[in-house]
Amino acid sequence: MSTFLGIPRRASHEDEESPLRGTLPFPKAARKALANDQLRRNLAHATAVIRTKRALVVDEMPDWEALRDTGSAVKTQVMANLPELLEQFEANVIAHGGVVHWAADAEEANRIVTDLVRAQDVDEVIKVKSMATQEIGLNEYLEERGIAAVETDLAELIVQLGHDKPSHILVPAIHRNRTEVRDIFLAEMADAPADLTDEPRRLAMAARDHLRRKFLRSRVAISGTNFGIADTGTIGVVESEGNGRMCVTLPETLITVMGIEKILPTFTDLEVFLQLLPRSSTGERMNPYTSLWTGVTPGDGPQNFHIVLLDNGRTNALADQVGRAALHCIRCSACLNVCPVYERTGGHAYGSVYPGPIGAVLTPQLTGMHGHHDVNSTLPYASSLCGACYDVCPVKIDIPTLLVELRGRAVDSDRGRTIPGGWDAAMKAASWVMSDPKRFVAAEKALAAGRLVAGRDRKIKHLPYPGSAWTQSKDMPAPPKQTFRQWWQETHHE
Amino acid sequence: MRIALIATCLGDALFPEVARATTLLLERLGHEVVFPPDQVCCGQMHVNTGYLAEAVPVVRHHVEVFEAADFDVAVAPSGSCVGSVRHQQAMVARRVGDTLLARRATALAGRTYELSELLVDVLDVTDVGAYYPHRVTYHPTCHSLRMLRVGDKPLKLLRQVQGIDLVELPGAQECCGFGGTFSIKNADTSSAMLADKVRNVVGTGADRCTAGDASCLMNIGGGLSRQDTGVRTIHLAEILASARESVAA
């Protein structure tokens, strides 16, 4: 099937360099993170803290499951009617004095934003809620054109000053501890106090002073968004520090970049999502700041408001009846915080600005899977399918099932190769053996030879490849003297 | 009740003691156990590795074998295999457009139970008359916990075992890192997950770690063995099948 939203879809290419696409296969990228003890300690601590907080505030909600069902139903409706909802949204933004731009991909979105910034004749902009702009590499694009983009979210600021990439959707500096943050501030923040300590309060105050000067001076702000509301043309941003409020009220010009999936049909839908999001993401009953703005209000707030509606692969995902559920994501990051794989590898291993379980399903859909040599094909395998992500997802995205489906596509995208890979051969052979009892019994007999390689303690400590991956950290038991079916025949005479 | 045993491919070939214990336990409770001898595998390994087309003949064979057998309910001493029967078999059939096979698989799944589900929900028993004088910690496997929602059924059964000293496992709900071929494809990450699980098991001071899935126990047991912890793994079915006269090792 195809989905047409009025903007022509562009094919994604595996050689395309993009913040959405890594350069290393997941297992290889993960190895680097796994070898970093400090990183793993930071991650384990931070995810455990957020996990516990989230569980507490979710458990106190008697209607949590009903809210999840509602959130999921609203999102399903949104996907089914996305073209109409976007048009309605566009009409309402325009009616309230805003300007709407459509961007098919990162390049187009970057160009639109840059032109808008240049029109205001500034060389510095402030930013908040930067996920969508990170996806398109906006900061780098602006920098190459002489425009400095200053992140105002504390964690984003730490990442930016550290010349680093975010490692988490919600806590981009989750992989940094406070001593590292102090060192980054001292080295990179020109107006940081020389006697700065690693006390969290002092770090926050240093950032606050630094940012306050930026807020008061900047004439242009760029934001992302949590929600775009079709029936009113309203944009919503939820945050914790007040930097968002500063960005969306002080400058004369506000440019918002919004992924087209962020639409909610009606203003009253916020009732559901403003309950689901903070509890799932920060483990709070309500986030400290919620900013909602509708077009332009004379004499109050930015007098020029632009919104860039970003596709960048989303219609590819939308065209996929199974995979489109990944577009339901409200970027709460609950799935990252419970994922045992994410907890140990951090976000960088996923190679995309969208890490963790949701990233493992979203990234391959946004940028395609092009055979076994494509790093994207390793992402759906970056999960033990433990199911913890599905349990916490506020909009009930069945991530394990999506991962399995995408694994199927990764395999299918490779079919027809002249030389089948090792896994292909092994899985075909196993299918042949496991669909016939005679062949299986013959295989069991062959397996019994494994008794010979076991030590006297019946432990196999080294298996040949690929079993060697198994025996790197654990023993394999030797096959038993008698299979179950042999025992059954002996004892039950059948 | 006439109960068909799904021994599971792994159980049949590598851990026959688990299917044996399941048989003896159910027979001791007065039920008739049947073992459809042509059974092989539920297809889970193929599905979870992405070889969905290759899973179809395996699923079809499972469905045909159990459809032909005469029984009231089927049981597998494995949360993940029952999860596969209940949540994956029909999915792969539908994916290749075989709606008939999907319907047949769904019908069979409706009378297939994991062991603790069968005992507590269907047979309505929590005290199975077991005796097991060991300090035991229980790992709730991911698929039992989250795919099947067995909840505290295994613990209800374990609490009734005489002589047992049941100790809580910290971080119990976290995956042990097995995940089938995940443990090979992402061996380093898997090993890191296993290391934490092994540390938690050893920290309980238990001499036995139990679970409802031989595959997870193979993983945890492999780690416990490699580090010479002295802690052994034992399947839930084996503990429940143990009696004062014949205490399982």
Question: CB within 8 A of A29, min separation 6: which ones?
Answer: A22, A345, A348, A349, A350, A351
pLDDT in tens for each of the 249 residues of chain B? 999 999 999 999 999 999 999 999 999 999 999 999 999 999 999 999 999 999 999 999 999 999 999 999 999 999 999 999 999 999 999 999 999 999 999 999 999 999 999 999 999 999 999 999 999 999 999 999 999 999 999 999 999 999 999 999 999 999 999 999 999 999 999 999 999 999 999 999 999 999 999 999 999 999 999 999 999 999 999 999 999 876 554
Q: How far apart are CA A471 and CA A281, in angstroms?
A: 38
Instruction: Note the pLDDT of residue A418.
Output: 65
Residue ending a domain, among B94, B122, B150, is B122
Within a domain: B130: no
Residue ending a domain, among A253, A283, A314, is A314
Which 3-state string (H, E, C) describes chain A? CCCCCCCCCCCCCCCCCCCCCCCCCHHHHHHHHHCCHHHHHHHHHHHHHHHHHHHHHHHCCCCHHHHHHHHHHHHHHHHHCHHHHHHHHHHHHHHCCCEEEEECCHHHHHHHHHHHHHHCCCCEEEEECCHHHHHHCHHHHHHHCCCEEEECCHHHHHHHHCCCCCCCCCCCCCCCCHHHHHHHHHHHCCCCCCCCCCCHHHHHHHHHHHHHHHHHHCCEEEECCCEEECCCCEEEEEECCCHHHHHHHCCCEEEEEEEHHHEECCHHHHHHHHHHHHHHHCCCCCCCEEEEEECCECCECCCEEEEEEECCCHHHHHCCCCHHHHHHCCCCCHHHHHCHHHHHHCCHHHCCCCCHHHHHHHHHHHHCCCCCCCHHHHHHHCCCCCCHHHHHCCCCCCHHHHHHHHHHHHHHCCCCCCCCCHHHHHHHHHHHHHCCHHHHHHHHHHHCCHHHHCCCCCEECCCCCCCHHHHCCCCEECCCCCCHHHHHHHHHCC
Question: CB within 8 A of A276, min separation 6: which ones?
Answer: A67, A68, A71, A330, A332, A394, A395
- Same domain? For A241 and A123 the reply is yes
C-alpha distances in angstroms, A235 versus A108, A129, A180, A421?
Answer: 21, 12, 35, 49
Within a domain: A294: yes
- Same domain? For B112 and B19 the reply is yes
Judge: A430–B14 Cβ closer than 8 Å, yes or no: no
Within a domain: A326: no
Kind and range of the H or E element at B165?
strand B165-167
- Same domain? For B149 and B187 the reply is yes
- Same domain? For B149 and B230 the reply is yes
Q: How far is A471 from chain B (nearest CA, A)?
A: 8
Residue ending a domain, among A314, A342, A359, is A314
- Same domain? For B96 and B154 the reply is no
Residue ending a domain, among B95, B122, B149, is B122
- Same domain? For A258 and A109 the reply is yes
- pTM, to two decimals: 0.94
Q: How far apart are CA B82 and CA B115, in angstroms?
A: 9
- Terminal-residue alpha carbon distance, chain B: 29
* Structural contact between residues A413 and A371, judged by C-beta atoms closer than 8 angstroms: yes
- Same domain? For B6 and B104 the reply is yes
CATH number of residue A66's parent domain: 3.40.50.10420
Domain containing B99 equals 2-122
Instruction: Report the domain count for chain A.
Output: 2
Q: How far apart are CA B127 and CA B121, in angstroms?
A: 13
User: In A, which residues are within 8 Å of B178 by CB distance?
Assistant: 384
- Same domain? For B115 and B140 the reply is no
Within a domain: A469: yes
Within a domain: A16: yes
- Same domain? For B166 and B65 the reply is no
The amino acid occupying position B204 is T
- Same domain? For B7 and B109 the reply is yes
Within a domain: B202: yes
Domain containing A120 equals 2-314
CATH number of residue B145's parent domain: 3.40.50
User: In A, which residues are within 8 Å of B145 by CB distance?
Assistant: 387
Within a domain: B129: no
Within a domain: A137: yes
State whether residue A301 sits within 8 Å of chain B by CB: no
Nearest CA in chain A to B48: A404
Within a domain: B14: yes
State whether residue A45 sits within 8 Å of chain B by CB: no
Chain A to chain B Cβ contacts (< 8 Å): 203
Instruction: Report the domain count for chain B.
Output: 2
Instruction: Note the pLDDT of residue A1.
Output: 39
Within a domain: A382: no
Within a domain: B127: no
User: In B, which residues are within 8 Å of A410 by CB distance?
Assistant: 50
Judge: B35–A488 Cβ closer than 8 Å, yes or no: yes
Judge: A34–B14 Cβ closer than 8 Å, yes or no: no
Residue ending a domain, among A299, A314, A329, is A314
- Same domain? For B62 and B142 the reply is no
Name the burial class of residue A78, with classes exposed (0-12), middle (13-18) and buried (19+) by CB atoms within 10 angstroms of its CB.
buried
A7-A9-A12-A16 Cα dihedral, nearest 10 degrees:
-30
- Terminal-residue alpha carbon distance, chain A: 52
Q: How far apart are CA A149 and CA A129, in angstroms?
A: 13
Which 3-state string (H, E, C) describes A64-95? HHHHHHHHHHHHHHHHHCHHHHHHHHHHHHHH
Within a domain: A110: yes
Residue ending a domain, among B122, B154, B171, is B122
ipTM (interface pTM): 0.96
State whether residue A43 sits within 8 Å of chain B by CB: no
- Same domain? For B113 and B7 the reply is yes
pLDDT in tens for each of the 494 residues of chain A? 344 555 545 555 565 678 999 999 999 999 999 999 988 998 999 999 999 999 999 999 999 999 999 999 999 999 999 999 999 999 999 999 999 999 999 999 999 999 999 999 999 999 998 899 999 999 999 999 999 999 999 999 999 999 988 888 887 777 788 999 999 999 999 999 999 999 999 999 999 999 999 999 999 999 999 999 999 999 999 999 999 999 999 999 999 999 999 999 999 999 999 999 999 999 999 999 999 999 999 999 999 999 999 999 999 999 988 889 999 999 999 999 999 999 999 999 999 999 999 999 999 999 999 888 899 999 999 999 999 999 999 999 999 999 999 999 999 988 877 677 788 989 999 999 999 999 999 999 998 888 888 888 889 999 888 889 999 999 999 999 999 999 999 999 75
- Same domain? For A290 and A439 the reply is no
Within a domain: B98: yes
Within a domain: A416: no
Q: How far apart are CA A465 and CA A295, in angstroms?
A: 61
Of A27, A406, A474, the CB nearest to B226: A474
